[in-house]
Every structure is written in C-alpha cells, then in structure tokens.
C-alpha cells in the first residue's frame, strides 16, 4: 500500500468533542477549500457554496440559531436544540457546504447535490492531509427559512454538510469493514459472483 492509499484507508471522523483549537488559519482554510475545486462536476457548473464560520463568530451563530429554532415553532424539540447548540459551541471552526443549484441547467438537481456532497468529502480529506481532524454533520440545524436568510443562503442553496474542522485531541484509527462484503462482480445477465471469486449466483427474478 502506498502512502496515499494508507492515508485514505486510515481516515476517520473526529466528532466535535474530540476536536480542539487550533482551527485552520485563513491560508490553511483556503488550501482546504481549494481541494474541493477538483470535485467531480457534471457540466462544469461548480455547484458549490462554502460558508466559513470561524470560532469567534460561532457564539453569535448559535444565538441566532436558537432564536430561529424557537420562533419557527420548529420541528426541533427543545432537547435536540440544546444538544445541537452544545455541540456547535465546541466547534473549532465550521464550514457549511451547500449545493448552489442551477435551476435552468440540463444537469439534474440530483447530480448537482451529489457533486456538493463529493465536495464535502474532498474538504474532509484535505483537512486531514494538513493534519487537522474533521466531521460531517447533517444540516437540519440551518434548514429553517429564517436561519437560511441570516446565513445569506438563497433559495438556490441546498445545504448538504455541516463540516466541523479543528485539531484532534488524540489521533486514532478505526478498524474497517472488508470491502469484499459489499462488492459483487457481474458475470452476465442476472448473474453476479461475490467479488474475488468466480462462482456466479443467478439472481432471483423479482
């Protein structure tokens, strides 16, 4: 296994409580986000929008979110709102990744959203490569209309990832599944074999 392959295989997420300062400096954040420019991009639409929130602004963000969660009479129960606020408070830095949808394009909305999701992964890997740790969280915290407006998001923005980036308190690895369990090889019409064997299995007709 070469060094890059090993790096990819050893990638792990660090949850917010496993992260601390320093967060990436502006120059490092630029380098991290620049890697997303190499994301697969159907139709060269660059359907990506990155909103960076530095730690000095996280307190203000939480306060706006909390107000919005309450006033929107939200689908967010108080217990969940409290949990979200407390994890965000610990975030060394946040990048909210949205798909910036070109409505009039012949490229499907789905492809544009997939591309933005792939950009998230590019960012996580790029952060890892610079020695940071990161995690991808869901975007439900920012999907209420009144929050979107405060964050400068327009209707064309479709949030896909709340990425938290900082320095791991303790570096670690994880044992991972064997890919063979999830892979098959096509052997002809309705016939596949487990990956790495030549024994084909006829698929049951639906």
Ligand X SMILES: Cc1cc2nc3c(=O)[nH]c(=O)nc-3n(C[C@H](O)[C@H](O)[C@H](O)COP(=O)(O)O)c2cc1C
Binding residues for ligand X (CB under 6 A): 12-13, 135-138, 174
Report in angstroms how near the CB of residue 6 gets to ligand X at its nearest: 16
Report in angstroms how near the CB of residue 117 gets to ligand X at its nearest: 7
Report in angstroms how near the CB of residue 138 gets to ligand X at its nearest: 4
CB closer to ligand X out of 33 and 84 = 84
CB-side neighbour CA atoms (13 Å) of 97? 30
CB closer to ligand X out of 109 and 194 = 109
Tokens of 131: 């020695």
User: Distance between CA 120 and CA 126 in Å, rounded?
Assistant: 10
Report in angstroms how near the CB of residue 186 gets to ligand X at its nearest: 27
CB closer to ligand X out of 12 and 192 = 12
CB closer to ligand X out of 117 and 184 = 117
Report in angstroms how near the CB of residue 87 gets to ligand X at its nearest: 9
Q: Which residues are CB-contacts of 7 (< 8 A; sequence separation ≥ 6)?
A: 128, 129
Q: Are 97 and 53 in contact (CB under 8 A)?
A: no
CB closer to ligand X out of 55 and 139 = 139
**Residue recorded with tokens 């408070």:** 89
DSSP string across 92-139: SEEEEEEEE--TTSSS-HHHHHHHHHHHHHHHHHHHHHTT-EEEEE-S
Partnered with residue 191 across adjacent β-strands are: 188, 202
């Amino acid at each position: 296994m070469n060094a890059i392959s090993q790096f990819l295989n050893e990638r792990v997420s660090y949850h917010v409580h496993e992260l601390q300062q320093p967060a990436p400096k502006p120059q490092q954040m630029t380098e991290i986000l620049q890697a997303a420019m190499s994301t697969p991009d159907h139709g060269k639409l660059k359907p990506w929008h990155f909103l960076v929130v530095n730690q000095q602004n996280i307190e203000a963000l939480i306060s706006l979110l909390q107000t919005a969660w309450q006033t929107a009479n939200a689908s967010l129960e108080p217990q969940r709102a409290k949990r979200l606020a407390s994890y965000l408070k610990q975030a060394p830095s946040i990048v909210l990744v949205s798909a910036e949808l070109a409505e009039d394009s012949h490229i499907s909305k789905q492809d544009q959203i997939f591309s933005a999701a792939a950009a998230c992964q590019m960012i996580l890997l790029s952060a890892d490569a610079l020695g940071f740790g990161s995690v991808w969280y869901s975007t439900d915290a920012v999907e209420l209309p009144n929050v979107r407006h405060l964050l400068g998001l327009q209707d064309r923005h479709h949030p896909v990832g709340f990425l938290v980036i900082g320095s791991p308190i303790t570096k670690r690895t994880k044992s991972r599944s064997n890919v063979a369990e999830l892979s098959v090889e096509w052997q002809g019409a309705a016939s596949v074999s487990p990956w790495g064997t030549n024994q084909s299995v006829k698929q049951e007709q639906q």
